[in-house]
Amino acid sequence: MRKQRDDKLRYLIFFGLVIVLFLHAFWRYGILNQAIAYFMPSASAQVPVVDSGSGFVPDWSRLKFSDMIMGEGGSVSYPTDRGEETRIWSAGQSIADFMELGDFEDAQFSIEKLNLSKISELLDIDLNSLKLSDFGVIKTQTIPTLVKAIPTLTNKSPASIKAIYDTYIRVGVSPGGTIGNSLNNPKLNEVELGSAVDLSKYQLTSIPGIESASIDKFDRWQDTVIGLVPGLRDLPWSEFPALPNPDLSFIGKVDLVLRDIEANRIRSISGSYQEGFNVPCYQNNCAHAEMSGLGRTTGAQWISGKVQEVEGGFGILKAVNDGKEPTGRHPFGPAFKQVVWDIDEAKGEMQTAMFFRFCKTIPFVGRTCTPYFIGPVPFISYREQDPIIFGSPSTVP
């Protein structure tokens, strides 16, 4: 009996040793990693993606402002037509908390064409439960600009709408007659609703027609923070009036991802709108991904924005962040910049990030935007041999 137990123990020790040696060989020669990679999907993503056949594209139906979380904090002050503006953000915060509607005016989304009725219908929001203060655009309206946004108010009496009636009393205008009859009174032009009354005391729908007016009908709608439009932070991008299609004029594959030991890369396909998208990297640290594809695409380099900055921005806001932004490309249009961020050469993976910008339209000055330096917000992760969309231009050094 004892001999049987000893034999069984020897067999267990033997098989245990075989298994250890087997696993060691898997690890030592990379067989285990290859086996795992075989069963894993071809790409992992920080945002939900779909394979367009030409490259990975965000699943717009599952992409929301509230899910776009800042990886780093920061702050910036810059001049506007209303004085100096300061924006502050922190790591872990959603961009919906500090980015404004006007920052996306050039993004081809047409967010400003939405109205509260449409948003509430899509997200099942009870507008009757909200206050006027919940709709940030109302704060900067005067009575005349409010009527311009909601023309049906013209024939209403001030006394029939509590917030308007209280504003008339506050600025010293008689609430008699219709609202339209008193619009030429200069006192009504001088005071914004947010300064005249406490908007949190009034029901949002107490102003008839407010839910049907598109956002762009309201004066200075561009200055409203995204999170102060009820429901907009949680509205899937697929529900925006328009979405830019990915630019498929230039596509390829991720061939190799290489760390900062790489230096002086000159076949770059990354850069900025201002410097173009073939900005070479003349420095010792040029972490990048080498691409493959048709013609000269093979061997082209997308430099990591974590190690290289380029010129960005235009107008008076160009000076923000010393006029610099991480190098990258815009395969999904001007709403954000796609930047190669973290590179893991051992795993053959690269993580890209979204970077955003602030924009203003200043009277007598015109349109102006900062560089794309607001980020990083995790975007699509790629593995070697994954397809990738570069967008235009398609020039390769």
Domain ranges of the chain: 2-39, 49-66+244-389, 114-228
Q: Rounded to an integer, what distance in angstroms lies between the CA atom of residue 93 and that of residue 90?
A: 6
Q: Rounded to an integer, what distance in angstroms lies between the CA atom of residue 251 and that of residue 276?
A: 18
Task: Over range 286-315, report the average pLDDT.
Answer: 95
Query: Scanning the structure block, which residue is given the tokens 């795992």?
Result: 36
pLDDT (0 to 100) of residue 30: 33
pLDDT (0 to 100) of residue 7: 52
Structure tokens at 188: 């009504």
Q: Rounded to an integer, what distance in angstroms lies between the CA atom of residue 52 and that of residue 153?
A: 48
pLDDT (0 to 100) of residue 380: 95
Predicted confidence band of residue 10 (pLDDT cuts 50, 70, 90): low
Question: In the beta sheet, which residues pair with residue 339?
Answer: 353
Residue 380 identity: I
Q: Rounded to an integer, what distance in angstroms lies between the CA atom of residue 108 and that of residue 362?
A: 20
Neighbouring CB atoms inside 10 A of 163's CB total 21
Asked if residue 5 has pLDDT above 60, the reply is: no
pLDDT (0 to 100) of residue 147: 97
Among 285, 257, 244, 263, which Cα is nearest to 106's? 244
Q: Which helix (H) or strand (E) holds 49?
A: strand 49-51
- Judged by average pLDDT, the poorest of 35-39, 54-58, 113-117, 320-324 is 35-39
Structure tokens at 345: 């050469």
Structure tokens at 44: 């992992």
Question: By percentage, how much of the chain surpasses pLDDT 70?
Answer: 88
Give the largest Cα separation in the chain, rounded.
Answer: 110
Strands (E), the chain: 49-51, 56-58, 74-80, 83-89, 251-258, 288-292, 301-303, 309-311, 324-326, 337-344, 349-356, 359-362, 366-369, 374-383, 387-389
> Bigger pLDDT: 2 or 131?
131
Q: Are residues 76 and 359 in contact, defined by beta-carbon separation less than 8 angstroms?
A: no
Per-residue burial over 374-394, b = 16 or more CB atoms within 10 Å of its CB, e = otherwise: bbbbbbbbbbbebbbbbbeeb
Asked if residue 15 has pLDDT above 70, the reply is: no
| Residues whose CB falls within 8 Å of the CB of residue 374, separated by 6 or more in sequence, listed in order | 70, 74, 89, 95, 99, 355, 356, 357, 358
**How many helices, marked H, and strands, marked E, lie in the chain?**
7, 15
Q: Which helix (H) or strand (E) holds 308?
A: none
Digit-coded pLDDT (tens) for 35-62: 323 333 333 446 888 888 888 999 999 9
Q: Are residues 258 and 288 in contact, defined by beta-carbon separation less than 8 angstroms?
A: yes
Task: Over range 295-319, report the average pLDDT.
Answer: 95
Quick one: three-class SS letters along 168-197? HHHHCCCCCCCCHHHCCCHHHHHCCHHHHC
> Bigger pLDDT: 38 or 367?
367
Q: Rounded to an integer, what distance in angstroms lies between the CA atom of residue 335 and that of residue 357?
A: 8
Task: Over range 211-231, report the average pLDDT.
Answer: 96
Task: Over range 301-324, report the average pLDDT.
Answer: 96
- Judged by average pLDDT, the poorest of 36-50, 116-130, 351-365 is 36-50
Among 371, 307, 372, which Cα is nearest to 338's? 372
Predicted confidence band of residue 259 (pLDDT cuts 50, 70, 90): confident
Question: In the beta sheet, which residues pair with residue 288?
Answer: 258, 303
Predicted confidence band of residue 219 (pLDDT cuts 50, 70, 90): very high
Question: By percentage, how much of the chain surpasses pLDDT 90?
Answer: 76
Task: Over range 376-386, report the average pLDDT.
Answer: 95
pLDDT (0 to 100) of residue 262: 75
Q: Are residues 239 and 373 in contact, defined by beta-carbon separation less than 8 angstroms?
A: no
| Residues whose CB falls within 8 Å of the CB of residue 45, separated by 6 or more in sequence, listed in order | 56, 379, 380, 381
pLDDT (0 to 100) of residue 66: 95
> Bigger pLDDT: 335 or 4?
335
CA 158 to chain centre: 41
| Residues whose CB falls within 8 Å of the CB of residue 258, separated by 6 or more in sequence, listed in order | 287, 288, 289, 290, 343, 345
Digit-coded pLDDT (tens) for 173-212: 999 899 999 999 999 998 999 999 999 999 999 999 999 9
- Judged by average pLDDT, the poorest of 11-15, 169-173, 253-257 is 11-15
Q: What mean pLDDT, rounded, does the chain reach?
A: 88
